[in-house]
């Protein structure tokens, strides 16, 4: 996927949560506001396993098929639990994170005893300065069937979570080429 597509999706996601959170009137407490619930919390990821980067002809360090295992502690128990990601990155500069800039994407599964959230994620990072900005759109199963969860993660670990649980399916986000 093109880095401009990731950037477009990230900006759309961040704008969506800002607008929807501002409309909820709950101040981010996790309280329900009609058909949506604003969520806040933290993510800790003690396990991150990545293959050695493979540089391409342009000097981009391609890291593929990584595994990230996290614990999510959110203001709404429906989106608290164990998260496992299949993760990919394209890294510019130092792949060890000292002055690195990267785009990242993958799939996520967030599981607890009531159901599972399956999603796709994309984001960027600037290390060591501002850390990650990752957006994930989830679709619920089990007791969460019929619900979606938008999650925005920021920081450098533990990461801050801001999100929104709502009825229906996640939106279909257009690609950059479809919007030009």
Query: Quick one: pLDDT band at residue 3, thresholds 50, 70, 90?
Result: very low
Query: Quick one: pLDDT band at residue 94, thresholds 50, 70, 90?
Result: low
Per residue in 138-174, pLDDT tens?
999 999 999 999 999 999 989 999 999 999 999 987 7
Per residue in 119-128, pLDDT tens?
999 999 998 8
What are the extents of the domains in the chain?
3-170
pLDDT for residue 103: 96
Cα distance between residue 29 and residue 17, in whole Å: 14
pLDDT for residue 172: 85
The superfamily CATH assigns to domain 3-170 is SO1590-like (2.40.350.10)
* Of 91, 8, 82, nearest in space to 43 by CA: 82
Tell me the DSSP string of 26-80. Answer: STTSS-EETTEEEEEEEEEEEEEE-PPPEE-TTS-EEEEEEEEEEEEEESSGGG-
Burial of 55 (0-12, 13-18, 19+ CB in 10 A): exposed
pLDDT reading at 26 higher than 60? no
pLDDT for residue 2: 46
pLDDT for residue 173: 74
């Amino acid at each position: 996927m093109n880095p401009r597509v990731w950037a477009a999706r990230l900006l759309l996601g961040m704008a969506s949560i800002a607008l929807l959170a501002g409309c909820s009137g709950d101040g981010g407490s996790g309280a329900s506001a009609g058909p949506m619930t604003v969520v806040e919390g933290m993510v800790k990821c003690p396990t991150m396993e990545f293959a050695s980067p493979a540089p391409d002809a342009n000097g981009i360090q391609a890291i593929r098929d990584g595994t990230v295992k996290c614990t999510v502690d959110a203001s709404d128990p429906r989106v608290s639990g164990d998260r496992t990601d299949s993760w990919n990155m394209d890294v510019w500069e130092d792949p060890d994170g000292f002055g690195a800039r990267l785009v990242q994407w993958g799939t996520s599964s967030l599981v607890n005893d009531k159901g599972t959230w399956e999603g796709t994620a994309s984001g960027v990072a600037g290390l060591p300065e501002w850390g990650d900005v990752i957006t994930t759109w989830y679709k619920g199963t089990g007791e969460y069937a019929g619900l979606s969860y938008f999650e925005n993660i920021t920081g450098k670990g533990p990461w801050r979570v801001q999100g929104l649980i709502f009825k229906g399916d996640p939106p279909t986000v257009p690609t950059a080429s479809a919007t030009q």
